[in-house]
Structure 1
Amino acid sequence: MALIKGTSSNETLYGNNGGIADQIYGASGNDVLYGGASGSWTGTGNDSLYGESGDDDLYGRDGDDLLNGGTGNDDLEGGDGNDTLAGGSGNDSLDAGAGVNTIQLNLGDGQDTLWLDNNSMANVLQLGAGITESMVKLSGTDDYYQADWTVKVTPADPMQSTSLYVNAERQGDYYSTNYGAWENLNITSIRFANGTVWDINTIKAKLKSSQTSGDDFIHGENLADKLYGLDGNDKLNGFEGNDTLDGGNGNDTLAGHSGNDSLLGGTGNDTLYGQTGDDNLNGGDGDDWLEADDGDDILTGGSGNDRLWGGDGNNKFSGGSGDDDIRGGTGDEYFYQNRGDGNDTLNGGTGQDMVVFGSSVTRAELSTYVDSYYNTTYLVNAVTGDTIEFSGIEYFKFADGTVVDTTAMSGKIANTITGSNSSWNGDNLTGTSANDQIMLFSGNDAASGGNGNDVINGGAGVDTLSGDAGNDTLVGGSEVDYMDGGAGNDVYYVDNASDYISEAAGAGTDQVISTASYTLAANLENLQLTGTANINGSGNNLSNLLTGNDGNNYLKGYLGNDTIDGSNGIDYADYRNTGSNISVILRTGAVTGGAGNDTLLNIEGVRGGNGNDYISGNTAGNSLFGELGNDTLSGDSGGDGLNGGAGNDLLIGGSGKDFLTGGSGADRFDFNATSELGLGSTYRDVIADFKSSEGDKIDLSTIDANSLLAGDQAFKFIGTSAFSGNATGAVRFSGGVIQISTDADTAAEFEIALTGVSSLLATDFIL
């Protein structure tokens, strides 16, 4: 072995060739150390190079070399062979070279960069003493040509923090393939000083979990890949195979390439390219661009104003809500349309194309409007006011199986009356004795249907609509409208809480369909909320049917025997301001007392009235409010939220983790069985506002403190003392938690948490 030592000067030191193992020390100064002789790029010995202090360059060349930069910002190149590289303190650059190499990273080493190439295989990252798993975080950023990732070590002492940035520009790491896994990682294990090893699968999993918020470029292989962009503005490429691409949040670009791919844009304004194969493209939320290219594809715009282009193949299109631009290609294509889809433009392109209407759309509510100035043809939905501008469409199909060709559909339907579409002069239109369709546009218009079952759409402006005789449909349109259906079973569409409806007594069974919070006027029977907004609905003195939408609704029946159906969402039956006592049992849906006997369906929460109410839940997690009066609230099973409100209330959580709020007054929190109690923060009930000063009590009296003895044994409160000896039947309070022992050991079997309470007395309990 040859020992070579430098001086304090800036020097270039060479080792020997011929397989001699050199040991070279740079000492102080900015030195250059070579494992081989001058003029040679081999140097086959197993050399040890130590830069020591200064900004040094170390070249191991061939052989299994040890390179240690020491202090300073050093450059280390291992060359061929199985090398060990340690940058030391300072911000170092490490090039492992070919072979199976070990890279050392210690506390205080600085911010190092590791370069890998295609010949560098199965490397090991060795972490130094004092580095634990909890200190280490892996994160990756990825584009098409390289996949860089970082090992960051964050100890308690920030001066000891360090990191290793792995630059794979010349190596080809990338994030891809099945279920989103980092592939071709040439660091195959991370080893800790205590013997813990993160293998390649652990490294990939941690890198995958970090791929959540950045602007990522993720690409697949020739497999059935599953790629997830998660947060950020991502680019996902499936390449070959039948791939699944999910953009997640952000404005993403997804390309399926070849294969039968499934692309989901998620939230944001996304761009989806199906390319070759029979693909399924779904834009999700946002204003999206979907382009199918080859194959028989399915394109779904979702919410937002989307553009869907078909290309070749027999495609199926559904724009969803929003004003969509949908263009077919060369094949025979289907365009699916439903009520509320917005104002869409459909171009069938070549081929035999068909518009397919959903079950809610009838031919009777559609009329044709021709704009002679622009030479365009529209279908106008008299119920919703939505329009479809169409061209290149051969057929229209309805849910009842009726198929109408374009010639028949484009002809004026009998008894269709259209306003002037002028915002300056309001129209005053009168229908006939037949079934009329009256379409108004902008302006403050008036229309009267006459006899027959008429459909009148007010459009924009403050309109006055009269159905007269017959079963009429009146659509107010935007702004505040005035509607009177007249005799018959009428349907009113409203979008403003101030829309006014006048209905005579005994003039049929009428329904209001609303996208806004609405209260039924006198003589109206039924209210249906639509859409996804969190809006509310109220009845009147009749026996009403109130139905919620897909949002969270408060539904209030008032007088009469009402049926209240929350439908989807988290919905409340609202009895606030009811003067007398009521009983609400959600398990059966029965409501008695008050101003009528109601039936509840799909209701998750109840707001009580001013009386002494009894309200019980069901198997779901319910929210029950007593409001005024001395109320009894029982959660039944499930994790419930109970709030007594004003008054001396009784709260029974039932099974599940419950949150109990007594409100003002002397409230009793009643626990009737051990099945209603839990242990630990995940399962125990929480009392949010226990107040001894108001006379609140915690009632354990119906639970047997010692089941081994005959009879019902009472519990004993021992204050903050620890359980000791035979603790059966003991109750203690410490750290905001009541602990209950029901056996002879010194551990608690059940707990109740109290928020904001630091001490309790025996008088706070009923034991």
Structure 2
Amino acid sequence: MAVVNGTAGNDLIHLLGDGVVVPPGYTDIPQATALGDTLNGLGGNDIIHGGGGIDLIDGGIGDDKLVGGNGDDVLTGGAGGDRFEGGSGIDTISYAGATVAVVLNLLSGVGSGGANDSSGDSFIDMENVIGGLGGDTIIGNNVAANVLDGGSGDDELDGLAGNDTLIGGAGDDHLTGGSGADQIDGGAGIDLVDYAGSAAVTINLSAGTASGGDATGDVLSGIENVYGAFLVNDILTGSAGNNLLDGRGGDDVLNGLGGADILRGSDDDDILNGGDGNDVLYGENGADQLDGGTGIDTASYDLRPEAVIVDLAAGTGSGGEAAGDTLVGIENISGSQGADTLAGDAGANTLQGWNGDDVLRGRGGADTLNGGAGIDLVSYWGEATGVTVNLATGTGSGGNAAGDTFAAIENVNGSNGGDTLIGSSGANALSGFGGADVLRGGTGKDMLTGGAGADRFSYVAIADSTVGANADRITDFSHAQGDRIDLSLMDANTGAPGDQAFTFIGNGLYTGVAGQLRFAVTAPGVTTIAGDVDGNGTSDFHIQLTGTIALVAADFVL
């Protein structure tokens, strides 16, 4: 056994005998032995022959040729375009000191990747690889049983054929064993085992077992996530931790067990069981069975543009990727990027509309309703008890609105009871339906519909309904039902201290007195209420009514 260090120049380190031809410019160092040697080329373009035994050969800087000879050798090229020849035995290429990700393929016998230690490398008769500190890409061959060790970094390891050992090490690794009975160890990090191209597989991360297709004989450890085979019927079971299980098409069965899992069925008719924990279930295409199990679980359709209809109380879905879905133990819905209709149940639900003009119905429980982009509606229609919904504060109370919170909601449908509906600073459509409702649009061009019952349309400032095209519209004002327009909180005279009341002057003209309120038919089927709060003889606000209506003082709360 010898430890041999070359020079800073080009060295020939060998156990080849006295007759070896030394290339011009090389230093002849015939000190390798038949035992296990440590041979270091240091600088220069070195040629190092290991001889017999288990040799550790390090070419150092330069374009080196490393020949392992007999024995199970470990060859380290370092920087430069190196040539590795393992010879007999089970030989290993090591990039353990590489700080930049390496790319190498034992099947093709070449390394690549640009400015890294593997760029320009070539190899033959090498079985194993040790990666470096970066996110390495390492591919085995179809002959030997390879040991591929990614080292640190987010590595991609593919064993191809053979009974391979894949070691992810630190980092979030992507591991593909290929055919053969493989030992797959993710190590630290969030690691993924991938069965792309295989026949159907059965994977159980909790037990560490695998069978079927390329998974036959595999033993798994330190694995958090699984990609199944394409378009076949996989059975994927997670662990007590957080898992991602993706069936990738076919009639798959995905079991999350414990942890906060993400289950993706992809195409066809899948069965997704979340188990314990707060899980997210993507049935995707096909008539899927989604069972969240315990925890706060979400059925998600947000990867697709097609609108869906999902009703948690009924446990059914239709439209887009929800077509034919059944839902059990689901608390939350993440809609599609289209115009969805999402309905909760008696519990506390989170309904997320994303893009599109969505309709969200929380039902009972303290619900979180987020419309996302688009013109979105929260609905309490058909419920008997009145609700209070305030879009300006994003809160609800009373009836099934108790405890509800709102974000990115533009429109509200009230219940069949006496509702109080308050808009935001934007354009809102507020509909009271049955009951004696109070509607206040706030600022913005609002559309107010009281529905049946004696409704009150409330205004607190002239900014609530501006002059001209952006005035509010009351669509169903009715004398017979006892509707009234409430201006009692609006100051009719800005030039006087305190809060002054308006004086209704019918359809007469202003006379330059602050606080005058009048009406006129301003277009076919449109009656406009106007008020002058500063006495300059011009209107400071308008409120439009649908229809030709002869208003009287009793129609107002002044």
TM-score relative to the length of structure 2: 0.52
Q: Is the 8 A contact 2:385 2:416 kept in 1?
A: no
Q: Provide the C-alpha distance between the structure 2 equivalents of 1:707 and 1:450, rounded to a whole number of angstroms.
A: 69
**Preserved CA contact (<8 Å) 1:446 1:464:** yes
Distance (Å, rounded) in 2 between the aligned partners of 1:560 and 1:510: 16
Instruction: Check whether the contact 1:448–1:468 (CA below 8 A) recurs between aligned residues.
Output: no
Q: Report how far residue 648 of structure 1 moved.
A: 2.6
Pick from 461, 469, 479: which aligns with 2:268? 479
Match of 1:464 in 2: 253
Aligned to 1:580: 385
Residue pair 1:564, 1:598 contacting (<8 A) in 2 also: no
Flag the 1:503–1:754 CA change in 2: closer, same or farther, 3 A: closer
The 5 Å alignment of 1:8-157 reads: none
Local SS of the residue matching 1:480: coil
Residue identity in the other structure for 1:750: F
The structure 1 residue matched to 2:237, chosen from 445, 449, 473, is 449
Match in the other structure for 1:439: 228
TM-fit CA distance, 1:658 = 2.9
Q: Aligned partners of 1:442, 1:524: CA distance in 2, in Å?
A: 26
> 2-side partners of 1:697 and 1:482: how far apart?
55
How far 1:686 sits from its partner (Å)?
Answer: 2.5
Instruction: Please tell me whether the aligned partners of residues 583 and 592 of structure 1 are also in contact (alpha carbons under 8 angstroms).
Output: yes
Q: Given the alignment of the two structures, is residue 731 of structure 1 paired with residue 537 of structure 2, yes or no?
A: no
> When the two structures are aligned, how many residues end up with a matched partner?
358
Distance 1:742 1:488 in 2: 60
**Residues 1:604 and 2:374 aligned together:** no
Of 398, 423, 429, the match for 2:202: 429
> What is the root-mean-square deviation of aligned Cα atoms in Å?
4.7
Aligned equivalent of 1:590:
395
Q: 1:414 aligns with which of 168, 181, 184?
A: 184
Distance 1:712 1:596 in 2: 33
1:653 aligns with 2:458: no
Q: Is 1:417–1:431's contact at 8 Å kept on the other side of the alignment?
A: no
Pairing 1:701-720 to 2, within 5 Å after superposition: 701-703=488-490, 705=492, 714-720=501-507
Partner residue in 1 for 2:469:
681
1:764 is the counterpart of 2:555: yes
- State the alpha-carbon separation in 2 of the partners of residues 369 and 598 from structure 1: 55
Shift of 1:413: 8.1
Q: What amino acid maps onto 1:594 in structure 2?
A: G
Distance 1:542 1:413, change over 3 A: farther
1:751 maps to what in 2? 542
Note the C-alpha offset of 1:439.
0.8
- 1:163-196 per-position Cα deviation (integer Å, ceiling 9, x unaligned): xxxxxxxxxxxxxxxxxxxxxxxxxxxxxxxxxx
- Looking at structure 2, the residues matched to 727 and 488 of structure 1 have their Cα atoms a distance apart, in angstroms, of 64
SS of residue matched to 1:692: coil
Contact 2:343 2:361 in 1 (8 A): yes
Please state if 1:698 is matched with 2:491.
Answer: no
Q: Which residue of structure 1 aligns with residue 10 of structure 2? A: none
How much has 1:350 moved relative to structure 2? 8.5
Contact 1:447–1:456 at 8 Å: present in 2 too? no
Deviation, structure 1 residue 481: 1.8
For 2:518 and 2:547, how far apart are their aligned partners in 1? 19
8 Å contact from structure 1 (residues 523, 542) kept in 2:
no
Instruction: Identify the residue that residue 47 of structure 2 maps to in structure 1.
Output: none
Q: What is the deviation of 1:500?
A: 1.3
Helix, strand or coil for the counterpart of 2:366?
A: coil
From the superposition, tell whether residues 401 and 417 of structure 1 become closer, same or farther in structure 2 (CA, over 3 Å): closer
How far does the alpha carbon of each residue in 1:702-725 deviate from its partner, in whole angstroms, 9 at most, with x for none?
445456678876544443333347
How do residues 461-610 of structure 1 correspond to structure 2 at under 5 angstroms?
461-468=250-257, 472-496=261-285, 498-504=287-293, 507-515=294-302, 516-520=308-312, 521-529=327-335, 532-594=337-399, 597-601=402-406, 603-605=407-409
Q: Judging changes above 3 Å, is the alpha-carbon distance between structure 1 residues 739 and 430 closer, same or farther for their aligned structure 2 residues?
A: closer
Amino acid at match of 2:290: I
Q: Which residue of 1 aligns with 2:411?
A: 623
Partner Cα separation in structure 1 for residue 266 and residue 431 of structure 2? 41
SS in 1 for 2:184: coil
Match runs of 1:285-324 below 5 Å: none
Partner of 2:451: 663
For the residues of structure 2 that align with 1:706 and 1:716, how far apart are their CA atoms? 10
CA distance in 2, matches of 1:760, 1:595: 36
- Secondary structure of residue in 2 paired with 1:483: strand
Structure 1 residue runs of 4 or more that deviate by more than 6 Å after TM superposition: 367-370, 408-413, 419-422, 707-712
Q: Distance in 2 between matches of 1:576 and 1:657?
A: 23
TM-score, normalised with respect to structure 1: 0.39
- In 2: Cα distance, 1:578 partner to 1:441 partner: 46
Unaligned runs of 5+ in 2: 1-100, 102-110, 117-136, 143-157, 159-168, 186-192, 209-222, 303-307, 313-326
Change (3 A) 1:368 1:663: farther
**C-alpha distance in structure 1 between counterparts of 2:499 and 2:226, whole Å:** 75
Between the aligned partners of 1:448 and 1:409, the Cα distance in structure 2 is 16
Q: Structure 1 residues 709, 534: CA separation in 2 closer, same or farther (over 3 Å shift)?
A: closer
- 1:483, distance to aligned residue in structure 2 (A): 1.7
Taking the aligned partners of 1:472 and 1:637, their CA distance within structure 2 comes to 39
State how 1:31-430 maps to structure 2 within 5 Å: 351=114, 402=171, 414=184, 416=193, 418=195, 427=200, 429-430=202-203
Shift of 1:533: 2.5
Q: Quick one: distance in 1 between partners of 2:286 and 2:537?
A: 62
Cα 1:629–1:446 shift into 2, 3 Å: same
Instruction: State whether residues 522 and 541 of structure 1, in contact with CA within 8 Å, keep that contact through their aligned partners in structure 2.
Output: no
CA distance in 2: counterparts of 1:447 and 1:586, whole angstroms: 46
Q: Deviations along 1:659-708, whole A, 9 cap, x unmatched?
A: 322233332223334443433334x3332332334333233344454566
Give the secondary structure class of the aligned counterpart of 2:269: coil
Instruction: Give the AA of the match of 2:466.
Output: G
Higher relative contact order (CA 8 A, sep 6+): 2
Counterpart CA distance in 1 for 2:346 and 2:453 is: 33
Q: CA, structure 1 residues 738+480, in 2 after alignment: closer, same or farther (shift >3 Å)? A: same
